[in-house]
A and B are shown apart, each in its own frame.
Chain A
Amino acid sequence: MMTTPLSMLVQSAATPHDSAIPLLLVWLLPLFPFVGFLINGTVALTSRGRAGANVATTARSTIVSLVGPGAIIAAFVAAVVIFTQMWRVAGAGAGVLDAPLILRGPLWVHVGALRFGWDLQLDQLSILMTLVITGIGSLIHLFSVGYMRDDASYARYFAYLNLFVAFMLVLVLGASYPVMFVGWEGVGLCSYLLIGFWFSDRANVEAGKKAFVVNRVGDFGFLIAMFLIWTTAQSLDFTSAHSALGAMAGSPAVLAIALCLFIGCAGKSAQLPLYIWLPDAMAGPTPVSALIHAATMVTAGVYLVVRAAPIFSGAPAASLLVTLVGAVTALFAATVALRQWDIKKVLAYSTVSQLGYMFIAVGSGAYTAGIFHLVTHAFFKALLFLGAGSVIHALHAAYHHTHRHEDAQDLRNMGGLSRFMPATAACMAIATLAIAGIPPFAGFFSKDEILSSVFERAHGSPLADASLGGVSGSVILYAVYGIGIVTALLTAIYMTRMMLLAFSGANRTGDAEQSALHEAPALMTVPVVILALLTTVGGWLNLPTLLPWGPTEGLEHWLSPITRLSAERLAGHAEPSRQTEAILIGVAIATALIGIAIAVALYRKQSTDKAHAPADVGLAKLLGNAYGADTAVDAVVVRPLNAFADLVLTRGVDVGVDRAFSGGGRFVGWIASRFGRDIQDGDVGKYAWMVTAGAIAVLAALTLS
């Protein structure tokens, strides 16, 4: 039962072309990181001495330094090989690879008609996600070697990080909702473990717990969605469930499924109101924030909507809700990011906001645009986080050098860092231009495609004709476009502010510390530079047809077997006029430039460090506290629930139930003592024993007779 013949793992290829694709390699994709987890985990468990003393030898940490990134790089190489073959096969003729390749794994559950196995699915979307995860994952793993090498729990760190990649690959490669759910909750587990990585600090553990529990609220929606899918479509495999549900477009069941799935997305991808865990998640090591909480895991919700596009496109109201929630989240988080002082918090809220853009895209049926932004965001946000990591690393070392306990993440303690860390500053500047939407950097193209898609669908598309809560889709889409533009403006402002505070002006770290500030080692700067390169050229993945320089709409073509039908169901066939498109691009660029100009005007000068800075008041304080959302959730949900569980249930109801039974018992005893002449003392225990003894005696007598 455990063993599966090798031949079973490879589904007989549908066409001669498919056989060119090395399907067995697909199984190795999650397996490489998993083996890495096992090796690093073993090292972690065997190298810890008494009382947590770090007895890691050089040999051991060399193993970790090789195995940790090596496992991910191996998976990346495998992914590239698979992708190359797919590319060649797809180029050989139209129609090939239109259906996903299903790799049958061992049976998992088979009960009645319910049946699903450990099956993987290879298609254009899953291989793209795999490339992003393993590619950026490799860079971040390499960076981590530099960033975490001196940590006492170096091996444990890589064990968790490898395990994360394994689960993330299961998430995107799974061929059914349950298998995807394994990855879905698995990455949540790794996220929990890594946020609370430095667990001696209570706040970190609390942040990890919060992330897991809030994600579980989302997973609750995911579970209900699976129950609905099964009762409606009698299958949990993507292929058969989607073909059944696709035929039921417009039915209430499909709407319910889409809404429940979106609860899951909102949890994992930090959308309103479930975003509250992501800013706290910054308690983890910074490379973790880059990999898990920016580039990969948090985009799983976007991936899910695209994967379930046949469901979402069959429920236009749900799609409108997705796009609306995305827009409101994008705006909300961007305003909060305006007034954060912690460099990682700026980036965290920025991530929430950018994820909002992705949901704007996939909600409006612009699935390719959503995935496009997912990819470019992975480039530039991973870069920004790693850059921030280098900065924090430098400040931390400087403060460590002078034994001062200052906040190494506070922007007010930075300033003028470009003089000390020119490479990091230059790379982060590129990423800032990308996220702000300045051409030719990657973020410009993806964000522009999202906004222009929304605009073109706002009129005359099936989605515009649908409605959500009585409001017409057209109104919603125009509003979303407006919000998107405002958010773009805010994005340019808060990112420029962050860059100015960190890198320009006079240095506020401290006079003694300045001598210790220096650029990160090559192991950390090289991944950042590579990401900067990707950020610069990433837009080529999907250039708009308007621009005649190079392969246009590459991603659109690549993903079309997966997204085209669903996208057309929501968008119709309308193509925007070149003129409209040109105007939209002009608006987008102008917005970004204005935003940068505003920020330069406002934030060029910051003269006080954190210790001497005045406390924020008024609007600044409100934004700094994220509108008090955490406090509100604490006061409205967490505390009442705990109090209810503790005071009402544990100390009240449960004691009451117990007393009721004891009282009832005493009453029986009392009755018994009235009637039983030999038992006058009302001792229930004695009474009980006599009954037992009597019963056994009767049985014994019968047995022996």
Chain B
Amino acid sequence: MRDFFLSLGAQQWVLPALVLWPLLAALPVRLLGRDPDGESRGIDARVLTLCALSIEALLGFVLWCVFDPDGAGWQARVDLPWIPDIGAVFSLGVDGIAMPLVVLTAFLVPLSLIATWNNVRVRMPAFGALVLLLTSGLVGIFVSLDLLLFYLAWELMLIPMYFLIGIWGTGASAKASLRYVLFTLVGSLLMLVAIMALWTLGGGTSFHIDHLIALKLDHRMQLLMFAAFFTAFAVKSALVPFHTWLPDAQRAAPTLAAVALGLKVGTYAILRFAIPLFPAAATDPTVRSIILVLSVVAIVYGALLAMSQDDAKRMVSYSSISHLGFIMLGCFALTQQGVQGAVMIMVNHGITTSALFLLIGMLQDRGGTTSMASFGGLARVMPMFAVVFTLSILSTIGLPGTNGFVGEFLVLIGTFGEHPVLAVIATSGVVFAAVYGLRALQRLLFEPNGSTTIAQMLDLSLRERAVMAVFAVAIIWLGFVPQAVLGRSERAVRNVVEGVRFGPNAAPPSSKLSMNP
């Protein structure tokens, strides 16, 4: 397969196609599509969107195939001229950290669209177009090597998301979408300033990460810029205490947008930019301690809050906040195990949380609410739903044998060597996770509440079963064969970890970092 795609020159076109195809497809979907129930001429916009997204998934598959697990440096790299005056280049490339996330995105969006097929009935052409724009932005974030391009993709993701939540959301969606934009924007403006400053310091010739990473920056400058980047990314990843927008946004968002919000663009950016560009800042004992402590707080805090939510979507959001703590902990543990664990959780989280949001969305479609109190005893009426939901919850609470275990285990074992106390506190998260996870099972699946509406609810349809089967397989597959991701991300993570320790901007050897195999 790999050879076939290589013979087609896939390495030259796959990344530009992944970024630009949805962008290009958005316009025809908007113009030619019609509402599912619409009277006007045209093609059902859902079908058009799905066609476009299927091609995106196919491209994702091509990328997975052509990626060389043992390859060094950026793969499938493409540099196209963009704004020569300021040295901005349309530069795309992936390594083992970005590639799994790109493939995940390329598959997740179409699968979510199929799962929520009947969810959106109004203004579908616009919805489809925005989803495509969003996909383009998401993929762009993961593959941009030029900081300006990255910034553009970062903002490109923001705008469609604002409209998706604001227009198709439920409840206080206008407020939630505005808060989302405000939180993200304040952070990203800081980042924009830092990008500009970095560009100036670099001689005003390039925004390319390879160029900027080689800059010699003094400690204070690194700290300032790291702060700006980190704030932007931490807000986007909903790190405690910047997390309050997430439950509101995911609660209000249409299911598909809630799934997209679960993609870990923020933590990816930290690993791709904030840490490698400013290693001395990232390893500064004070900075690192603050972030590590915040991560552990997030793990416990998110889990405790998830314990006391009635709304199922908010419960999942808070569990995400808890998982985010694990990712952040792994990233800043800066050991091979910790960072690879973090990458693993980014992928796992995309799978598991999406599965949960889609399942809860299916309940919302049937019962009109996401309040757990309104359900109960679903295991009797919707056994298929019960099986997949249980599996997803087990993955969320990190049961070994599911994908959820491997990432958390690696993060914790990678943190333990240097920060045993933090790792022990973080491990207590597994107990709280069991509490909120089983509480959700209890309230949704068991404990009948006697409502007649529930007795009438239909189990998953064939379409829903097909989609959820993909998620179920992924949860178990990555639980047993996590090497599929770990093996591919190893080299890239090694680059990051060693770059931080030995790169040009690394902290002087007096720093307390010890080498951990």
Contacts and interface: CB of A to CB of B under 8 A. Distances in A.
Nearest to A170: B401
A120 to B, nearest CB: 14
A696 B154 CA distance: 11
A181 B455 contact: no
Nearest to B477: A2
Contacts of A185: 399-401
B309 A650 contact: yes
A192 B430 CA distance: 16
B399 A189 contact: yes
B292 to A, nearest CB: 16
A199 B449 CA distance: 12
A316 interface: no
Contact of A205 (B181, B305, B416, B442): B442
B185 A199 contact: no
Interface in B475-517: 480-484, 486-487, 490, 516-517
Contacts of B439: 209
B400 A186 contact: yes
A interface, over-half SS: helix
B17 interface: no
A692 B413 contact: no
Interface residues of A, number: 74
A40 to B, nearest CB: 13
Interface string A177-200: 010011011100100100010011
A436 B47 CA distance: 73
B324 interface: no
Nearest to A2: B481
Interface string B152-187: 100100110000000000000000001101110110
B400 A114 contact: no
Contacts of B431: 213, 216-217, 220
Contacts of B155: 692, 695-696
Contact of B182 (A109, A649, A684): A684
B182 A685 contact: yes
B434 A212 contact: yes
Interface residues of B, number: 81
A118 interface: yes
Given A45-B384, A226-B413, A209 B401 contact: no
B483 A645 contact: no
Given A178-B400, A703-B83, A650 B480 contact: no
Nearest to A702: B83
Contact of A657 (B159, B241, B309, B420): B241
A642 B308 contact: yes
Interface stretch (B7-15, B352-360, B374-382): B374-382
A627 interface: no
B340 A111 contact: yes
A16 to B, nearest CB: 34
B interface, over-half SS: helix
A185 B434 CA distance: 12
B423 A227 contact: yes
A658 interface: yes
Contact of B185 (A112, A649, A688): A688
A184 B242 CA distance: 37
Task: Give the most central of A185, A226, A689: most B CB within 10 Å.
Answer: A185
Nearest to A669: B182
A510 B348 CA distance: 58
Contacts of B483: 1, 107-110
Interface string B329-341: 0000001110011
Contacts of A17: none
B342 to A, nearest CB: 11
Contacts of B424: 224
Interface in A643-673: 644-646, 649-650, 654, 657-658, 661-662, 665, 668
B448 A200 contact: yes
A646 B308 contact: yes
Task: Give the most central of A51, A206, A668: most B CB within 10 Å.
Answer: A51
B446 A199 contact: yes
Nearest to B244: A658
B481 A1 contact: yes
Task: Give the most central of A109, A189, A220, A661: most B CB within 10 Å.
Answer: A109
Interface in A261-282: none
A685 B177 CA distance: 10
A60 interface: no
Contacts of A692: 155, 158-159, 181, 185
Contacts of B214: none
A187 to B, nearest CB: 11
Interface in B306-335: 307-309, 335
Given A112-B337, A703-B82, A220 B427 contact: yes
B240 to A, nearest CB: 8
B20 interface: no
B189 interface: yes
Contacts of B301: 649
Interface string A519-556: 00000000000000000000000000000000000000
Contacts of B341: 111
Interface stretch (B36-44, B125-133, B261-269, B404-412): B404-412
B210 interface: no
Contacts of B240: 657
B114 interface: no
Interface in B430-480: 430-431, 434-435, 438-439, 442, 445-448, 455, 480
Contacts of B380: 48, 51-52, 200
A641 B432 CA distance: 10
Interface in B223-255: 240-244
A50 B307 contact: no
A540 to B, nearest CB: 38
A228 B182 CA distance: 44
Interface in A664-705: 665, 668, 684-685, 688-689, 691-692, 695-696, 699, 702-703, 705
A10 interface: no
Nearest to A701: B83
B103 to A, nearest CB: 16
Contacts of B308: 642, 645-646, 649-650
A403 interface: no
A2 B437 CA distance: 30
A80 to B, nearest CB: 28
Contacts of B85: 702, 705
A223 interface: yes
Contacts of A50: 381
B383 interface: yes
A189 B394 contact: yes
B438 A213 contact: yes
Given A649-B305, A692-B159, A705 B412 contact: no
Nearest to A664: B186
A48 B381 CA distance: 9
B447 A199 contact: yes
Contacts of A224: 424, 427
B480 A654 contact: no
Given A45-B387, A650-B309, A684-B182, A691 B446 contact: no
A231 interface: yes
Given A185-B399, A209-B439, A692-B185, A111 B412 contact: no
B478 to A, nearest CB: 11
Contacts of A646: 307-308
Given A48-B380, A691-B185, 9 more contacts: A106-B480, A114-B337, A186-B400, A200-B448, A216-B430, A224-B424, A642-B307, A685-B182, A688-B185
6 contacts: A189-B394, A223-B427, A644-B304, A657-B240, A685-B178, A699-B151
Interface of B: 82-83, 85-86, 88, 148, 151-152, 155, 158-159, 178-179, 181-183, 185-186, 189, 192, 240-244, 301, 304-305, 307-309, 335-337, 340-341, 377, 379-381, 383-384, 387, 394, 399-401, 406, 409-410, 412-413, 416-417, 420, 423-424, 427-428, 430-431, 434-435, 438-439, 442, 445-448, 455, 480-484, 486-487, 490, 516-517
